[in-house]
């Protein structure tokens, strides 16, 4: 059972993220911009505001805090990553992809607006994220900003999240279920890469040593696996009210999940093992990393 | 009539761009990538290879050359910009947007593959562009790489290209034609921002003075206008074989164009005026900028 400090901390970060995203997605123009069409901005706001737990921003901020870094720049990087996450949800929900009408209990962007607007809102959130990541207020050192940009692009691009969604769609239309190793790759790309990058971004911002960065990358990788397997289990067991979407939808769709590959009990065991290994990876940081350990426990336990 | 040197130069650059994009869009993995799904890569290649004139890369490379900068880094930046241009074509062609089956005489990505793959291929090209722009081989100075990233994002984002496409879709479904000033804004965003950024990127890479950069920005802005108005005229007058798509499609669709706002003759006069002003903006560079002057003449004259 996670300690209360985790819940209050992630809630406080979510409030900061909400306010920061609200500022970014305002009508005001940045130098070099020509105009922000109100309908596009409204769709971007629909996609990015009143969002979920803000796990990825939490990871950026708490990983940076391990190295004593905090403040506006870290929050900006955290929000840039969250925008990329939000764009991916908008595009995944499109009729040509997962065709979902509801997300967190609200109409998806293409239902609340229209398909073309949803495609553009996703494109614009993705693009804006790189603007924020690369811009001076995010970090005093331009070499770190450039690394953040490249790292985010690689986690989200064809060899990461976008590639993972491609594999997921292929698995759905495939006649036979994917073997476990391929599901692992798919999930490491589709959801794992962005979660792992959240932790890595914090390490980059904090100027972590190579050794510390490796430890955090291992943590991020295991956390991502625990999170995704827990999501598969939640879909199998959860109820629609908790999810804000139809439950057991994955099975009906022939989605590649660890539950379908391993069965429910072995999937639960694997989830718990990943969470435990995530915690172990944090050993070099001692008690300073307790809040990240709680995040791993939370990721594994969120269906109870 | 443009001098032969322009045509041979833009053809040589197009060949370099093709080879460079071919390398980027190969199965090899970059550090941090997990896997590149072959189908996604094939769709990205369909979108980016055997492309058009490669005007935007030409502008990056020739603007950088004004300051004595050339080589691999400039070519990388030019290809990153071209990837963003190609992504925008893939998404614009989607059924929910302009619903085009042909592009440069070949099936569009969603026809050659499917809609979901086209959305993801566009997403992946956009994302990859920022990876390339931010990565060390593009420029030795990370501050310049970060500026290139931010500039590209701002030209392509909600206050630039993506916003322009939103305005274009709104104009199409509007009962009354847009006034001339609004078409100008729309076009400055939809096509102008990326063309202008091409010239600005070259100036950034070349370490141009503020004064030189301003001159090049003015050139890029006027060039973008001349180019877009010429495109509107081409659509009105051109034949399908030249365009590789159905001609006079814009009028049938109630597209906001300068021809519909001003009539053909005034649109031609405005196009020529923009091209002349683009050339004038290059005065500080004297004869060294002749190839960029030829580009402006080419942009205006390409329907003859």
Q: Is A181 exposed, middle or buried (0-12, 13-18, 19+ CB in 10 A)?
A: exposed
Q: A-chain residues within 8 Å CB-CB of B33?
A: 154, 157-160
Can you give the pLDDT at residue A5? 87
Residue-wise pLDDT tens digits, A191-202: 999 999 999 999
Pairing of strands B106-107, B102-103: antiparallel
Tokens of A265: 């009990």
Nearest-by-Cβ selection for B166 from A29, A40, A153: A40
Can you give the pLDDT at residue A177? 83
Nearest-by-Cβ selection for B156 from A39, A127, A136: A127
Determine contact: B160 vs chain A, CB below 8 A. yes
Pairing of strands A106-107, A102-103: antiparallel
Q: What is the spatial distance between Cα B149 and Cα A151, in angstroms, rounded to a whole number?
A: 13
* Angstrom distances, CA of residue A197 to CA of A61, A191, B223: 12, 10, 40
| Residue of A86, A64, A95, A237 whose CA lies nearest to A161 | A86
CA triple A17-A243-A52, angle to 5 deg? 0
Question: How would residue B235 be classed by pLDDT, with cut points 50, 70 and 90?
Answer: confident
Nearest-by-Cβ selection for B159 from A30, A130, A163: A30
Can you give the pLDDT at residue A248? 55
Residue-wise pLDDT tens digits, B98-149: 999 999 999 999 999 999 999 999 999 999 999 999 999 999 999 999 999 9
Domain-wise residue ranges, chain B: 4-301
Largest CA distance in chain A: 55
Q: What is the interface pTM, i.e. ipTM, of the complex? A: 0.95
Residue of A nearest to B36 (CA): A159
Residue-wise pLDDT tens digits, A201-259: 999 999 999 999 999 999 999 999 999 999 999 988 875 455 555 555 555 667 789 99
CATH-assigned architecture of domain A4-301:
Orthogonal Bundle (1.10)
Residue of A nearest to B134 (CA): A146
Can you give the pLDDT at residue B239? 53
Q: What is the spatial distance between Cα B163 and Cα B18, in angstroms, rounded to a whole number?
A: 28
Residue B226 has pLDDT above 90, yes or no: yes
Say if CB A51 and CB A104 are below 8 A apart: yes
Residue-wise pLDDT tens digits, A134-189: 999 999 999 999 999 999 999 999 999 999 999 999 998 888 888 999 999 999 99
SS (H, E, C) B76-116: HHHHHHHHHHHHHHHHHHCCCCCCCCEECCEECHHHHCCHH
Question: How would residue B269 be classed by pLDDT, with cut points 50, 70 and 90?
Answer: very high
Q: What is the spatial distance between Cα B82 and Cα B95, in angstroms, rounded to a whole number?
A: 23
Query: Which residue(s) pair with A107 in the sheet?
Result: A102
Question: How would residue B303 be classed by pLDDT, with cut points 50, 70 and 90?
Answer: low
Question: What is the SS3 assignment for A106?
Answer: strand
Residue A2 has pLDDT above 60, yes or no: no
Can you give the pLDDT at residue A237? 83
């Amino acid at each position: 059972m996670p300690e209360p400090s985790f819940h209050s901390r992630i809630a406080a970060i979510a409030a900061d993220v909400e306010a920061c995203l609200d500022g970014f997605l305002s009508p005001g123009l940045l130098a070099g911009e020509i105009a922000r069409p109100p309908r596009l901005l409204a769709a971007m706001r629909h996609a990015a505001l009143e969002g979920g737990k803000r796990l990825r921003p939490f990871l950026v901020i708490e990983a940076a805090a391990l190295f004593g870094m905090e403040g506006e720049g870290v929050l900006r990087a955290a929000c840039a990553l969250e925008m990329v996450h939000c764009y991916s949800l908008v595009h995944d929900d499109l009729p040509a992809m997962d065709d979902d009408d509801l997300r967190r209990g609200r109409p998806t962007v293409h239902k609340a607006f229209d398909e073309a607007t949803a495609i553009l809102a996703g494109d614009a959130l993705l693009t804006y994220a790189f603007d924020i990541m690369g811009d001076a207020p995010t970090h005093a050192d331009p070499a770190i900003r450039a690394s953040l940009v490249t790292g985010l692009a690689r986690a989200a691009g064809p060899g990461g999240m976008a590639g993972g969604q491609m594999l997921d769609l292929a698995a759905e239309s495939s006649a036979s279920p994917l073997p476990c190793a391929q599901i692992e790759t798919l999930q490491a790309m589709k959801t794992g890469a962005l979660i792992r990058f959240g932790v890595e971004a914090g390490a980059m911002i904090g100027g972590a040593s190579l050794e510390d960065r490796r430890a955090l990358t291992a943590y991020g990788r295991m956390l991502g696996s625990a999170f995704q397997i827990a999501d598969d289990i939640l879909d199998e067991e959860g109820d629609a009210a908790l999810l804000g979407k139809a439950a057991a939808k994955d099975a009906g769709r022939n989605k590649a999940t660890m539950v379908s590959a391993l069965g429910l009990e072995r999937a639960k065991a694997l989830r718990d093992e990943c969470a435990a290994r995530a915690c172990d990876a944090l050993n070099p940081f001692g008690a300073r990393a307790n809040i990240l350990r709680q995040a791993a426990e939370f990721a594994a336990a969120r269906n109870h």
